[in-house]
């Protein structure tokens, strides 16, 4: 079970006193975003499968004067998501920022050649687990005076590309789910949903998809994190979309 403890007093900043949860927070865009949110004053719940990576990010946040709590869990386990939500609700009154970053690329293959078992795993993490997160944290998000739900997507969700069908389909489904949720709660809460395509970024997933690419030719995760921080501190309307690939 995740180690949930009460937050220390928030550091000064735009997000002082606010609670954020970032999935896939052990590396890449998730880790960079968690550190950026913490630097702005938020207490950040760090979620990922690997406790070692989470602990390293948590240590960096604490060393910089920020506040974070690790929550190692496998998001494909729906019951774990529910238990995490209950644990957080027992310590905090609201969740202000939910960053849906965790995802699985899967094997790039022609649609007829997509492995059914792997496709099921991709859809489970990229779609079903994301819906489970929104459902589990909906009460805490509604309790926030200004909640944001940010879903990380990909350009191939809107512009299909050969061999990217499985991953693109999962992200297209995620976009629809999050956008529909935003419309459902727009008039009965202060929740706003945003969709962000980070574009080419120096991550492990990018390296897997483009093994021959020089990683120095694409932007670092910290660049995306800075943009996401600006997004949650600005007054954008529900449904606002940001494409960093343009």
∠ CA(44), CA(180), CA(24), 5° rounding? 30
Told to judge if 167 belongs to the known catalytic residues of this protein, a careful annotator would answer yes
Q: Smallest Cα–Cα separation from 168: which of 157, 180, 152?
A: 157
Could you count the other beta carbons within 10 Å of the beta carbon of residue 112? Answer: 6
- Going by the DSSP 8-state scheme, the letter that residue 201 receives in this structure is B
Q: Cα 108 to the chain's mean position, in Å?
A: 22
Q: Is the dihedral of CA 203, 204, 208, 212 positive or negative?
A: positive
Active-site option among 167, 181, 210, 240: 167
d(CA 3, CA 237): 34
Catalytic machinery residues? 167
């Amino acid at each position: 079970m995740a180690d949930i403890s009460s937050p220390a007093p928030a550091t000064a900043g735009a997000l002082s006193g606010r609670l954020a949860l970032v999935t896939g927070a052990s590396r890449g865009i998730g880790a960079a975003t968690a550190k950026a949110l913490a630097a702005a004053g938020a207490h950040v719940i760090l979620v990922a499968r690997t406790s070692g990576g989470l602990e390293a990010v948590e240590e960096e946040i604490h060393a910089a004067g920020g506040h974070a709590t690790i929550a190692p869990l496998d998001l494909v386990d729906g019951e774990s998501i529910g238990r995490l939500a209950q644990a957080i609700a027992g310590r905090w009154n609201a969740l202000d920022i939910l960053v849906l970053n965790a995802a699985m690329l899967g094997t790039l293959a022609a649609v007829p050649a997509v492995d059914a078992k792997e496709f099921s795993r991709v859809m489970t993490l990229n779609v079903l687990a994301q819906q489970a997160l929104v459902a589990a944290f909906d009460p805490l998000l509604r309790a926030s005076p200004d909640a944001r739900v940010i879903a990380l997507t990909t350009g191939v969700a809107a512009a299909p590309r050969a061999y990217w069908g499985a991953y693109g389909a999962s992200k297209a489904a995620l976009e629809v789910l999050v956008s529909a949720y935003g419309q459902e709660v727009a008039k009965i809460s202060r929740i706003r949903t945003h969709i962000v395509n980070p574009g080419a970024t120096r991550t492990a997933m990018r390296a897997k998809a483009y093994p021959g690419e020089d990683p120095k030719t694409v932007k670092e995760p910290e660049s995306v994190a800075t943009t996401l921080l600006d997004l949650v501190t600005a007054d954008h309307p529900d449904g606002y979309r940001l494409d960093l690939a343009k």
